[in-house]
Each structure stands twice: as structure tokens, then as C-alpha cells.
């Protein structure tokens, strides 16, 4: 079912400052910020040779990551995202095995323009898992 690691997401309280740290200290190339109102975040991506790092900043007071920052004032790891070829098939298989999908269970479009779903962290020992549908390149 699972494909490659797509990205590791880190919540930050100040996206501009975080980008500067990654650029100045590690020499990372950081994408332009992208607001995702439907997810309540602004994101940037840092491309690595084998995966990406996603930096998330709350977009508005109702953002799910605002609640995360209340508990983790310095920010931190929010979730890991893995690729799947068919998100609906993966969702249905996971539900049949007893896993819980967050929200209404229907995929939403993520930062890469692909369908995504989040799995309940209680089913994965405290880790929030995102699945992103990525079709294989032929």
C-alpha cells in the first residue's frame, strides 16, 4: 500500500524566521510560501535528495496547527506524509482494518495539488500520518 516518504512536516510559529534558519544555517533552498486556507496553514517546502521537509505556519486563529503550537510552543514535528497510488483504495483498506480517518473521510487537495487524507494519530502510537495520492511516472 505505502510508497515513498513524501515529506516530514514541521510546525513553526514564524515561517519567515524558520525559512531564514534553514537557508542561512543549512544552505537549503526554500520554496515560495503558499497559503492553503482550506487546511488553515501557509506552507513552504525544502527539497532534499530523498524527500522534502514541509514547514507549516498557522493561517488564522482557527488553524489546526495553532492548537499544536499551544501545546508545543517552540514548534516541532507535526506529521509524516507517505505516497499511495490510489488514495480511495488505501482509505477503504485502512478503514476495513479498523483505522480511523480524520475529517469526513473524503480526500482533500493538498499543497502539491494531489488528494490527501490524514489518519488518526491514536492508531499510529501518537504520530499523525498523511497519505498523498501520487501516480507513478511511466
Task: Write out the catalytic residue numbers.
Answer: 130
Quick one: cell of 42? Answer: 501557509
- Apex CA 18: angle with CA 127 and CA 51, to 5°? 50
φ, ψ of residue 88 to 5 degrees: the values are -70, -40
Alpha-carbon gap, residue 112 to 130, rounded angstroms: 13
73-83 burial, b for 16+ CB within 10 Å, e for fewer? eebeebbbbbb
Amino acid at each position: 500500500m505505502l510508497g515513498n516518504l513524501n515529506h516530514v512536516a514541521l510546525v513553526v510559529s514564524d515561517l519567515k524566521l524558520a525559512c531564514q534558519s534553514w537557508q542561512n544555517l543549512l544552505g537549503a533552498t526554500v520554496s515560495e510560501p503558499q497559503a492553503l486556507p482550506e487546511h488553515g496553514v501557509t506552507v513552504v517546502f525544502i527539497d532534499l535528495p530523498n524527500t522534502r521537509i514541509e514547514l507549516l505556519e498557522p493561517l488564522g486563529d482557527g488553524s489546526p496547527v495553532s492548537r499544536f503550537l499551544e501545546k508545543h510552543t517552540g514548534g516541532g514535528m507535526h506529521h509524516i506524509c507517505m505516497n499511495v497510488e490510489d488514495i480511495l483504495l488505501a482509505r477503504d483498506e485502512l478503514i476495513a482494518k479498523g483505522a480511523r480517518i480524520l475529517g469526513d473521510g473524503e480526500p482533500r487537495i493538498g499543497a502539491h495539488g494531489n488528494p490527501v487524507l490524514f489518519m488518526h494519530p491514536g492508531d499510529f502510537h501518537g504520530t499523525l500520518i498523511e497519505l498523498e495520492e501520487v501516480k507513478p511516472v511511466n
